[in-house]
Chain A
């Protein structure tokens, strides 16, 4: 079976940091373009960041560029999202997702909740 399992969510104060991790299994992680996607409470899905298979390219939505950093460890089949300078509007369920090709996200984790609040 193919799986993506996110971890690392929790409650953090505004201005704080958090690191999310996504553990992949059952497929060739090292040949997959990977993404983080989030959904704020009562809102729609928002693409956050993506990273190329070999880690040489990364892209971010404007609202997180400079604060969030996506990374991957192909040897461990894991994807990470380092989130710094967190804001209240970063509160969301964060999903890890595999990109089948050109923004076709065919495999999703169950998500991890990040709450930014004082």
Chain B
């Protein structure tokens, strides 16, 4: 149950794209197509933005997209907007669940 590895920070200017990685093992990320991503603004409840690697819940803009290759999943935010500045976490279904270490996205 080791945390999935994410870069501590990422940044981009408005309108640009940024990709955040989430690296696990063959026992979690690599084993299942059950990777989710969450957007977390401090002081608020986290919000599900991607589930089952690449699916978006209703209401989530298509600027958010997900993918996976082997033991690494990725979240891409296109057309960056100021309100995208937040912490982002991945999770993988394993024996229970495991979260990533989190990435602070800064919109320059």
Chain A residues with a Cβ under 8 A of chain B:
35, 37, 44-47, 49-50, 59-62, 95, 99-106, 108-111
CA distance A100 to B34 in the complex (A): 11
Nearest CB of A to B28, in Å = 10
Interface centre among B57, B93, B96 (most CB of A within 10 A): B96
Q: Give the B interface residue count (CB, 8 A).
A: 28
List 7 additional contacts besides A37-B99, A102-B34; criterion CB under 8 Å. Answer: A44-B101, A44-B102, A50-B96, A50-B97, A99-B97, A100-B48, A105-B38
Given A102-B52, A103-B36, A59-B45 contact (CB < 8 Å): no
Interface membership of B24, Cβ < 8 A: no
CA distance A100 to B91 in the complex (A): 13
Q: Closest chain B residue to A62 by CB distance? A: B1
Interface membership of B46, Cβ < 8 A: yes
Q: Closest chain A residue to B51 by CB distance? A: A104
Chain B residues whose CB sits within 8 angstroms of the CB of A108 once the complex forms: 45-47
Q: Supply 16 A–B pairs (Cβ within 8 Å), ascending by A.
A: A44-B100, A45-B40, A45-B46, A45-B99, A45-B102, A60-B96, A61-B96, A99-B97, A102-B32, A102-B93, A103-B36, A103-B92, A103-B93, A105-B38, A106-B57, A108-B45
